[in-house]
Amino acid sequence: MNKVKQKDLILYSGLIILGLAAPYLFSAFKVQLTYLCVLIVLAMTWNLQGGEMGYNTFGNILFYGLGMYLTASVQVGMFFPLAEWTESGGEKTFVHTTAQYFQGIGVGLLVSAIIPAIIAGAIGYAILGLRGHYFAICTLGLGIAAGEIAGGIEIIGAGQGFTTPPFPAEIVDTEARGKFFYFLSFALLIGTFVFVKYIYGSRFKLILNAIRDNEDKAEAMGIQTMKYKITGWMCSAFFCGLAGGIMGGLIGYIDSTDVAFDGREMGVFMVLMAILGGKGTLWGPVIGATLFHFFKEGLWTLILGWQYVALGVLIVVIVIYFPEGLMGWLREKYPERFGEVIDEKDRKAQVELK
């Protein structure tokens, strides 16, 4: 047991060092690396809900988008009148000082974690009674509705979109912005990973699994499933909101349906990445997101115009050949490496029976 832990320690410290060194090693790729961190976070949080609890949701994009708008609104609203900032063609130009910018984004991120979690609790209370396809379809509507509603609210820019505060001009280093957002997202990634890892060792995860495997039995055993389902979703929403807040600042421009409540892309990607890596595993979403991101960045520009066809093919391939994801596939092939013991006699007996 101790030996395994030591190995883990090497692996984790290696990854953290790689993560810290990455923006210096691959300076030109900082933005892509930031995206990678955020994508992994999204895949991991989706996995909590869709993989561990078995409640496939398309609604997590709601929290991501909310986080984006909240962070930007707080960042602006703390120092300037928000309505005048978002008004198109306004004559005034507002400029954040360096201190204002960082204070704003700090408070904004805090808000963007807490409010989505509360909203997840409220919505969860209403709709987590639905199961299976019904829940999936219901959450699909959430993101779409949020996009349309946000597109009509004047104070956050409505259809005009919301330009987030530019990085303070007093910081002359052009690399500073990229580094800031990279380390912010990397910190979020570590935080999320530690949290999920902690959950994996807890009773909470077993309860989520019990809900996934047979909710009625879980209930019969005396587990208050509703309470745990809501808590699970709130955890997802907490990190999704943070991811959204960071992305909003990084992209610099929030559009209601294309950037914030982007169910068609981000909303689908987070599901796809988790499934690609293997849902219901700790490392699956991490590996899935990494592979997906490399595939997307590396290949998409080579097959301009056909990238969505390629994406479609990828989805088909995943579903047919890796229904359990890469981790699931590895587990099936090399079960002993996952600590599963196979009783050879029993296996042979089963083969003979066939």
7 binds other proteins (CB under 8 A): yes
Pairing relationship of beta strands 253-254 and 162-163 according to DSSP bridges: antiparallel
Task: Name the token pair of 62.
Answer: 């709601």
308 binds other proteins (CB under 8 A): yes
Identify the residue among 9, 13, 14, 170 touching other proteins (CB under 8 A): 14
As measured in angstroms, the least distance from the Cβ of 113 to other proteins is 21
**Number of residues near other proteins (by CB under 8 A):** 55
Identify the residue among 4, 220, 341, 342 touching other proteins (CB under 8 A): 4
List the x/- string, 26-65, binding to other proteins by CB under 8 A: xxxxxxx--x------------------------------
Helix extents (H) in the chain: 2-25, 30-46, 60-77, 82-86, 98-127, 132-150, 176-200, 203-213, 215-220, 225-251, 268-277, 284-299, 307-321, 325-333, 344-353
DSSP assigned state of 96:
-
Identify the residue among 257, 263, 272, 279 touching other proteins (CB under 8 A): 257
Cβ–Cβ contacts within 10 Å for residue 208, how many? Answer: 27
CA distance 330 to 90: 57
200 binds other proteins (CB under 8 A): no
Q: Which amino acid is at 123?
A: I
Residue 162's beta-bridge partner residues? 254
Which residues, 6 or more positions from 168, have their beta carbon under 8 angstroms from its beta carbon? 96, 97, 98, 101
Tokens 């993101």 locate to 143
Cβ proximity to other proteins, 91 vs 216, nearer residue: 91
103 binds other proteins (CB under 8 A): no
244 binds other proteins (CB under 8 A): no
11 binds other proteins (CB under 8 A): yes
Identify the residue among 5, 337, 345, 354 touching other proteins (CB under 8 A): 337
As measured in angstroms, the least distance from the Cβ of 353 to other proteins is 31
Segment lying near other proteins (by CB under 8 A), choices 106-114, 190-198, 217-225, 304-312: 304-312
Which residues, 6 or more positions from 210, have their beta carbon under 8 angstroms from its beta carbon? 217, 218, 221, 223
252 binds other proteins (CB under 8 A): yes
84 binds other proteins (CB under 8 A): no
CA distance 261 to 70: 13
20 binds other proteins (CB under 8 A): no
As measured in angstroms, the least distance from the Cβ of 286 to other proteins is 10
What are the two backbone dihedrals, phi and then psi, of residue 163, each rounded to the nearest 5 degrees? -85, 120
CA distance 308 to 34: 23
As measured in angstroms, the least distance from the Cβ of 223 to other proteins is 31
Cβ proximity to other proteins, 19 vs 232, nearer residue: 19
Near other proteins in 125-164, by CB under 8 A: 148, 151-152, 158-161, 163
CA distance 125 to 208: 16
* Integer-rounded Cα radius of gyration of the chain: 22
Task: Name the token pair of 312.
Answer: 């479609």
Cβ proximity to other proteins, 111 vs 330, nearer residue: 330
As measured in angstroms, the least distance from the Cβ of 125 to other proteins is 30
Handedness of CA 196, 199, 200, 201 (dihedral sign): positive
As measured in angstroms, the least distance from the Cβ of 175 to other proteins is 10
201 binds other proteins (CB under 8 A): no
Burial 34-53 (b: 16+ CB within 10 A, else e): bbbbbbbbbbbbbbbbbbbb
Residues interacting with other proteins, by CB under 8 A? Answer: 4, 7, 11, 14-15, 18, 25-32, 35, 88-91, 93, 148, 151-152, 158-161, 163, 166-167, 174, 177, 247, 251-253, 255-259, 262, 265, 294, 300-301, 304-305, 307-308, 330, 334, 337-339
